Amino acid sequence: MSGPPPALLAWRLRQAGCLPGLAAAAPDLPGARAVDGDLWAGDPPRHRRHACLVARIFLSLEPVLWSWSRIPPAPGGPAPDARARLLPCAAEVWLEADTGSESRRQWLAKLERYHLWAPGPLVAVAEDPRRVARLAAWLAAGPAPDPWPAGAFPLADLARTLPAWLAAHARPDPPPHPQPPSAATGTTGRSP
């Protein structure tokens, strides 16, 4: 089996805030069979599909992830599903999993709300290439002001195409690199 060991995969999913459940939904992903699919048994099918897609996005990006955090549901409306920093540029991107259940009007309303949440680039991810094309058109016609980059990507090509797109559309904010303390000052060596 290629990919991370099953226990490590399950731990990474828990740390990322992704609910386990890939065994039934994504048997093609390395190590996915090791994650218990029964944990979603009580969820409505729509929520299960969405949670599974978020987990699959995490797994597909895992080789290029610098950081990942789930966004909790917002009291005043929807929020993007996750915020990530991808290598090599470590720029931030906001991610939205799309299962195809929303109309154009619903998506544009969500996009307007997301602009309040996501100052950086927003990326919608879907599995169906036709849905990706529709999302790309909706994002291009959306109410968000320019220059707010937003794009739509198929899950199958995400790890290959998203880092290059992000490098071209995001202002890189390099992650902090720890430096050894200075013996003379006891500081990290960074200037104030």
Q: Which residue has the tokens 């540029």?
A: 89
Closest to 98 (Cα-Cα) out of 150, 143, 57: 57
Closest to 126 (Cα-Cα) out of 45, 20, 53, 32: 53
Q: pLDDT digit string (tens) for 99-156?
A: 888 898 888 888 888 877 667 788 999 999 999 999 999 888 766 555 678 889 999 9
Sorted by sequence, the CB contacts under 8 Å of residue 2 that are 6+ apart come out as 30
Read off the pLDDT of each residue in 150-168 and give the average, rounded to a whole number.
90
CA angle (19, 134, 87) in 5-degree steps: 50
Where are the chain's structural domains?
A: 6-169
Q: pLDDT digit string (tens) for 168-182?
A: 886 655 444 433 333
Under the banding of pLDDT at 50, 70 and 90, the label for residue 186 is very low
Compute the distance between CA of residue 89 and CA of residue 66 in angstroms, rounded to an integer: 9
pTM above 0.85, yes or no: no
134, two tokens: 């529709």
